[in-house]
Structure formats: C-alpha cells, structure tokens
Chain A
Amino acid sequence: DVVLTQTPSTLSATIGQSVSISCRSSQSLLDSAGNTYLYWYLQRPGQSPQLLIYLVSNLGSGVPNRFSGSGSGTDFTLKISGVEAEDLGVYYCMQATHAPYTFGAGTKLELK
C-alpha cells in the first residue's frame, strides 16, 4: 500500500499567518494517463471531512482561495495564505491513484 507521510503532525499558527503542510508519498502518484489523484481535506471538530483540493491543485467547490495545493510525483504541499479561525482542525491528504486508496495521519492546525 502507498504510505503518505504528513508533516508536521501539529501546527500552531496565529490568525493571518501563512502555513504549509507537506504530504510525501512512498511512490509516485502520477498514473499512466498523466493524472495525479492527490486530495486534501479539512476535518473541523465534530464534523465530517470537507474536500479542499483535488488533483493536487484544484480548489473544491466553495473553498476559499487562501487555500492552494502544489506538488508532483511524491511530494505535495497544502498552503494556507492567511489562516482564519474557521481553518482550525485536522488536515488530511489522500491518494486515489493506487488501490487501496490511503490517507495521511493528519496535521492538526491549532491557534498559537
């Protein structure tokens, strides 16, 4: 199975600060058709996961543009440009290139 390693596990930020989360894969997520099925989700406390980014860098429906995704192959990054209070929670990356699809362990974003 593909292992996704997220760092850091915990991130402390102030409102307005820009932060980044890394997601590294144990193998390339580029498929034979040239697609990279790397997703980012935010799970706020007591809620189900919400899609933020799909296919590495595409913003989900209704997601603010302070969120951005980048990367290729095995290295991916989620950036929040100006953290807001509603961004607090746990961020997960997920890959759907290789079955079984797998998730990172999560990064908890908290207020400093």
Chain B
Amino acid sequence: EVQLVESGGGLVQPGASLKLSCVASGFTFSDYWMSWVRQTPGKTMEWIGDIKYDGSYTNYAPSLKNRFTISRDNAKSTLYLQMSNVRSEDTATYYCTRDLGYWGQGVMVTVSS
C-alpha cells in the first residue's frame, strides 16, 4: 500500500524558514517523480513543484521558485520542501504526491506573528 506521511508543519513567524518532510513507503521511491501541492484555507489548490526520480531535475511554480526548494533522499525514501522567508500567504495545508496520483494526508503550516 502506498503511504505518504508529511511532517514538519506548525506555527511559524513571518520571515522564518521551515522544512517539511514526506516519508514514503509501499513503493520504490527512487522510481517516481514526486511533487508538492498546497491548499489554502480558502481551498484553492496550488502546485508548488516537482522533482525527478533521481533528484537531478526540479521544476517550480515561478511565484515560489526563489523561496522554496524541493529535494529528496532516496536512501531514506523521503521528500523535502525547504521554505524560506515565509509569508502569511504561505499559510496552507501542504501535500506531497507521488506522480500526482497518490497524496499524503497533508501537513498544516500557519504563518503568523
């Protein structure tokens, strides 16, 4: 069974950094592209970016490219999202996905002072 479990969310102050993790199981992690998608409190869905199965290529939404970095550790079957200089508009539930087909349960990030 494919499982994706995100962690690392919480309350963070504006301007701070935060790193989310997504631990995968039930499939060969190194065979798949992985993505991050977020959903705002108003339920708007936004694609953040994705990473090739071997980590050699990443693709980002232009509006987030300068502040967000996606990486992976295939030995640990873990996907990461490094968020820097966070803003109130980054408040959302963050999902990792396998190939856009399987989604984790999501992790909430709240940016507030």
**Residue ranges of A at the interface with B (Cβ–Cβ < 8 Å):** 39, 47-51, 54, 60-61, 90, 92, 94, 96, 99-103, 105-106
List residues of chain B with CB within 8 A of the CB of A102: 47
Contacting A105 at CB < 8 Å: which of B44, B63, B100, B104?
A: B44
Using a CB-CB cutoff of 8 Å, which residues 79-113 of chain B contact chain A? 95, 100-106
Partner of A101, one of B47, B101, B103, B104: B47
State A99–B50 Cα separation when bound (angstroms).
10
Q: DSSP majority for the B interface?
A: loop
Q: Are B59 and A99 in touch, CB under 8 angstroms?
A: yes
Q: Determine the distance from Cα of A31 to Cα of B47 in the docked complex, in whole angstroms.
A: 19
Given contacts A103-B47, A106-B43, 8 further A-B contacts (CB under 8 A): A51-B101, A54-B101, A90-B43, A96-B100, A100-B47, A102-B47, A103-B44, A103-B45
- What is the interface of chain B, defined by CB distance below 8 A to chain A? 43-47, 59-63, 95, 100-106
Q: Are A48 and B105 in contact (CB under 8 A)?
A: yes
Q: Which residues of the partner chain B approach A105 to less than 8 Å between Cβ atoms? A: 44
Question: When chains A and B are docked, how far (Å) is the Cα of A106 from the Cα of B42?
Answer: 11
Tally of A-B Cβ pairs under 8 angstroms: 42
Give Cα A50–Cα B100 distance, bound, in whole angstroms.
10
In the complex, how many angstroms separate the beta carbon of B46 from the nearest chain A beta carbon? 7
**Chain B nearest Cβ from A105, distance in angstroms:** 7
A48 pairs with B47, CB closer than 8 A: no
* CB-based nearest A residue for B93: A48
Across the interface, do B101 and A94 meet the contact criterion of CB distance under 8 Å? no
Contact A60 B45 (CB under 8 A): no
* Contact of B104 with A48 in the complex, beta carbons under 8 Å: yes
Closest CB-CB distance, A52 to chain B, in whole Å? Answer: 11
Chain A residue nearest in CB terms to B48:
A100
Q: How far is the CA of A74 from the CA of B61 in the complex (A)?
A: 22
What's the Cα separation between A27 and B51 when bound, in Å? 25
Q: Chain B residue with minimal CB distance to A48?
A: B103
Bound-state Cα–Cα, A105 to B63, Å:
19
CA distance A36 to B9 in the complex (A): 34
In the complex formed, the residue of A with least CB distance to B63 is A100
